[in-house]
Structure formats: structure tokens, C-alpha cells
Structure 1
């Protein structure tokens, strides 16, 4: 390998994806191959839906991998407060002692959802994370420089982490055969999603694109890596240079057909707290609150939705 090739390779992060079958989520270890320092992105805390109990088997797979590779964790990062799985960021912070981070607009999401749950004592200032990233912020993973793109649309807080030639796009883009993310949750915005996608697609064509979910269209094996060029050419919601108007019409029509996420009302109470459980009550047990009659049902439509009341 030539000196130039070695220099290029040293600026290319090593990316390892971990697929969480129960929620079709992908978490990542992103490493500087020279220093062995890494970041963990969107780790998942297991949740047994029948028993309403959490465990750490999936996150512990990541812990084992990091330790076996001799890596040092610089960051534990969330791209947004997830509505379909619990974040293991707090657990991994306890294990590794690394700082946690998320986009600064998490404060808006916290404010929306603490009203839905009626949690007036929940701080809506992002203090549950060690760093709140602004659009354009840069930080280091070993010798690798990462940049933050504010990427609203799926949520009001979503960010993309661009680490050299790798972009971690959370739920903004799926694999090309999966399309794009829904925008019908409180704080979502289809127009904003379109513009967030267009910004990501201005990255160099060879940029690797890593998505946060894969629902295995057609029953194929899970996949999570594509390129900007592949997204531009083959994404089923974007190919042909779709206009903003056409995209919005398509996306909003599709969202009206989607089921309400099974874990949304459970997961967000944890994820608004940076992956930590609610404070235990006097008996030492943590409890979740489930708001009733706050969302429109496909079986019996309510007169008012949560969005109407915000």
C-alpha cells in the first residue's frame, strides 16, 4: 500500500453495525483505526414487552466487542430520542465513563412530550446528556473529525453525525429499497425531512450512509450500509429527482397507513431522560405513565389529537 493510500485509510472510520432483531434497529461502533478510539451511536437497551422488564444483553454485545478490540470509548451518542426502542446510552456511560451527546433541539422534544405525559418536574433543558450539539459542531473520535448536521423532520431533534466518509443518518433515510422515515409524530415535519435529506445527498457520492433501522423489505437479510450515490439513484422515495411537493404528498399519504409504534409511549419516557429510568417511588420501583385518549385511533378516531392540544 502506498503512503497516500495509507493516509486515506487512516481517515476512514471502521464501522461495525449491530442489528437488534426485536426492534429492527442498528447501533454502531465507529472507530479510528489508528488510535483505537471509538464512538457508540444509538445503542439499544433490551425491553421484554410481556413482562415490562429491561435487560442489557444487546448492549453487552457491544461492550464485549469494544473490549475485545482494545478500544477506548470517546463518545456515546444518540441521534434523537427514539420512539421504538429504549436507549442504552446511560447504561454504557456507566460502563465506560464516556460522555453522552445528542442534538440541542432535544429540548423541544422534551417540552412536547413532558406535556403529553404530564411530567412538569422533568427538566426540558437537555441536562440528561453531557453535550448538546449544534448544527455545524465538530468533535473528535481519536484523530477523526466528526461534524453534526441538524436533520429535522422525523423528529424536531434529529441530527446526522458525519465522520469523514461515513454519515449516520438515523431515521431520515432507510436503505434504498426502504425509502424514508415517517414524520407523523408530534414535532415531525415532512417539509423539513425533505430538506434534511437533500442536505445529506450533497455529501460526496462515495460517502457511506448508515441508517438506524432496516425492516427487511421483501424478507431479505438485514442491511444498513449504502452510499449517497446509491440513495440518489435507487431510493424508492427519492429517485428521479422528486420535488418537495411530490415528496410531501407521498410521505404524508404513506404515514396515514402506518401503525402506531408499539413501544412509543414506553420508550420516549426513558429516552427523554437520556436512557435512564424514572426516579423510583417509595417502594423502590420505577413506573411509566401511559396517557389515555391522546392519539387518534384507526379503529375509533378521537375528536382531538395530541397535536391539537399542543
Structure 2
């Protein structure tokens, strides 16, 4: 974009196929982090910070000051490093205001401690749909794009939009809509909202699961999505999409890290409170996920 001072750096985590971003106003040195990853080894139950430390190194090498740590939603495929990053580089942790609905659902599923309140207070800021905020001198628009979950947000920064899990690369398609609170019709409407942006708008996705022979990628455009997205290109109507998405979702396995990750991510990246032995424990509800209780 002519005259723009925005810089975008992507960090791909091969373990979870997640892309985190650092976006910055080069004029003021102000920055935001989007969807940071906390390493987690399911077999040992150990967390790590190698992915988050890559972001810290980049921030320090470029003398950037973090204003925001932005989550597009409460992810089901990785643990958030938001709290760890805040402790080391600052910034306000923010997510969409409908995170409260997600918290209420999963507080029940995990039977979380009584003093965990599904009020969003675990985050420093909750965005409303259409809210405008700034990274330095750069204006950012928070856009509600539910359907994958009720709380999904996209962040529009000049000619770039960060869409979280709502859309993938054109040859991969769209997010699933069968999580608690998800809805295929709602997802279709959210996708069309994003695809109504100017055709040249750069689109940055949060995950890539490339077909064989293609390396991982995370940047496309609205025009490329409208022309070639295998699920929602122009000409695919709502009924066709809903039928496809519903049939496809019925065949998908539960994500490997959904049970560990959600209980951390609805806490803005905090681990569960340590128990009387000083250790934090993750809860795994048995024979519940996918039932009406979820």
C-alpha cells in the first residue's frame, strides 16, 4: 500500500501448523502480536517457549514496543503464549467480546473452579464488532466473524486482514463449524463479509495444511479466495456450502490438543491455578466432548 508504514512478519510453527504474526508501525515502533503459540508436548505434559521466544527475539532485534497481543479466538489446536509474552514484552491481551459465551460453555465442560467467571475479565480488552483501535499511528478494525466459534474476530489493518481460522488458503478451504457454538450458516455469512473487502486486500491465515507437494503458505488475497477457494469461491451459495461443511465436519477427528488448549486459552494463556502441591493440572473430561453437555 503506497505510503504505508506497516510491516508484517510471519512465524510458522510446524508442530501445530499455526502462523503467528508480528505487525508493526515502522514509524513509531509500535507493534502487535497475533495468535502466539506456547509449545506443548502432549506425551510429557511439558510446556515450552521456543516459538514465543522467536517472536521476542524479532521484537528486540527491531526495537519494537508491543501494544497489543491479539487473539482471533480461543484456539483448539494450540496453547496460547499470550501471558508469557506479556510478561516479557508487555502489551494488552485482547479478544472478541463473545469469548464470554465460549468461556461459559467450557467452564461447564471442564467443571472449572468456582472462582473462574465467564466474564472475559481474564483478558485486558474485549473488542466489539467494528471497534477501531491503533497500533502506533496505524488504524485497525476489529471484525466479528463467527461460525467456527461464536467469538472469532478478524483484524483489518490497512490493506491486510488477519482472518484466524475462518478461511484457509484457497486450496484448503474454510474452518470447521462443528465446535460448541459453531454454525455453518453463520460461517458462510462471515466468509462473505471478508470476501466483500476490496479484491486486492491481502489475507493472512492462521493455519496451513497444504496439499502434498505444496510448501506451507499463509498469504493470499480476497480476489484469489473469491476465484479459487475450494469451499466458498464465487458461485457457491449458502445451501451448497452448508451441505458440504456439515458433511465434511461429520468426518473430522477431534483436534489433538483441543482439551488441553481450550482450558488455557479461555484464561488468556494462563495455566490453571496451581494446586496445593504447587503444580498446575490440566483436566480431561471423559466421555463428554461432542455430547449435548458440550
Bin of the TM-score, shorter chain as denominator length: over 0.9
Counterpart of 1:206 in structure 2 is 200
Shift of 1:12: 5.3
Q: TM-score, normalised by structure 1?
A: 0.92
Q: Is 1:128 matched up with 2:108? A: no
Rounded to whole Å, the distance in 1 between the matches of 2:262 and 2:141 is: 26
Q: RMSD between aligned alpha carbons?
A: 1.1
Rounded to whole Å, the distance in 2 between the matches of 1:125 and 1:295 is: 23
Counterpart of 1:11 in structure 2 is 4
Q: TM-score, normalised by structure 2?
A: 0.97
Q: Is 1:227 matched up with 2:221? A: yes
Q: 2:285 aligns with which of 262, 267, 291?
A: 291
Matches within 5 A, 1:249-268: 249-268=243-262
Matches within 5 A, 1:64-143: 64-119=57-112, 120-143=114-137
State the SS of the aligned residue for 2:189: helix
Are the counterparts in 1 of residues 67 and 90 from structure 2 also a CA contact under 8 Å?
no
Q: Is 1:309 matched up with 2:293? A: yes
State the SS of the aligned residue for 2:134: strand
Rounded to whole Å, the distance in 1 between the matches of 2:39 and 2:74 is: 16
Alignment coverage as a number of residue pairs: 293
Structure 2: which 5+ residue stretches go unaligned?
none
Shift of 1:9: 3.6
Are the counterparts in 1 of residues 130 and 142 from structure 2 also a CA contact under 8 Å?
yes
Counterpart of 1:4 in structure 2 is none
Deviations 1:186-240, CA, capped at 9 Å, x for gaps: 1111111000000001111111000010012224211000000000001111224
Counterpart of 1:238 in structure 2 is 232
Matches within 5 A, 1:110-189: 110-119=103-112, 120-189=114-183
Are the counterparts in 2 of residues 103 and 133 from structure 1 also a CA contact under 8 Å?
yes
Moved over 3 A (4+): none
Matches within 5 A, 1:266-285: 266-285=260-279
Rounded to whole Å, the distance in 2 between the matches of 1:252 and 1:188 is: 11
Rounded to whole Å, the distance in 2 between the matches of 1:283 and 1:235 is: 51
Are the counterparts in 2 of residues 168 and 210 from structure 1 also a CA contact under 8 Å?
yes
Rounded to whole Å, the distance in 2 between the matches of 1:132 and 1:92 is: 18
Rounded to whole Å, the distance in 2 between the matches of 1:97 and 1:190 is: 37
State the SS of the aligned residue for 1:11: coil
Larger Rg: 1
Rounded to whole Å, the distance in 2 between the matches of 1:211 and 1:13 is: 17
Counterpart of 1:51 in structure 2 is 44
Are the counterparts in 2 of residues 12 and 164 from structure 1 also a CA contact under 8 Å?
no
Rounded to whole Å, the distance in 2 between the matches of 1:278 and 1:295 is: 19
Are the counterparts in 2 of residues 145 and 163 from structure 1 also a CA contact under 8 Å?
yes
Q: Structure 1 residues 240 and 201, CA, compared in 2 at 3 Å: closer, same or farther?
A: closer
State the SS of the aligned residue for 1:309: coil
Are the counterparts in 2 of residues 194 and 247 from structure 1 also a CA contact under 8 Å?
yes
